[in-house]
Amino acid sequence: MEPVVIEYRLSAHPAIEAAALAAFEGGASRVVLDLDVVDSLDHESVRGLIALLRRARAAGGELALRASRPDVTRTLSVTGLDRIFTIVEAQPI
């Protein structure tokens, strides 16, 4: 089964979390959050990603991140999130 890809926006975090958990309940083994739609990550985003990762693992799924924007990848590196999340490359258009 192909991974489910969800665009990440902090303002929609509750809906994104619900969609990710629904995907796992529906049989998806991997959900990819597309961070290429955001310019940067703040502390709320980091906290939200960590919380969602814990919920995904508790549901038996893998949560990966798609990130290629320099400010986003820098934040993932500085916070160590690049070591606990699987980072996937952007898909060519």
| Domain 4-88 superfamily per CATH | STAS domain (3.30.750.24)
Q: In what order do the strands lie in the sheet with 4-7?
A: 4-7, 30-34, 62-66, 86-88
pLDDT of 46 reads: 92
Q: What are the boundaries of each domain within the chain?
A: 4-88
Q: Which tokens hold the place of 91? A: 């898909």
DSSP reduced 3-state for 31: strand
For every residue of 78-91, which 3-state class applies, written as one string? HHCHHHHCEEECCC
Distance (Å, rounded) from C-alpha 5 to C-alpha 85?
Answer: 15
* Residues 7-34: tens digit of each pLDDT: 988 788 889 999 999 999 999 999 999 9
Distance (Å, rounded) from C-alpha 60 to C-alpha 78?
Answer: 27
pLDDT of 20 reads: 92
pLDDT of 2 reads: 75
* Residues 35-72: tens digit of each pLDDT: 999 988 999 889 999 999 999 999 899 999 999 999 99
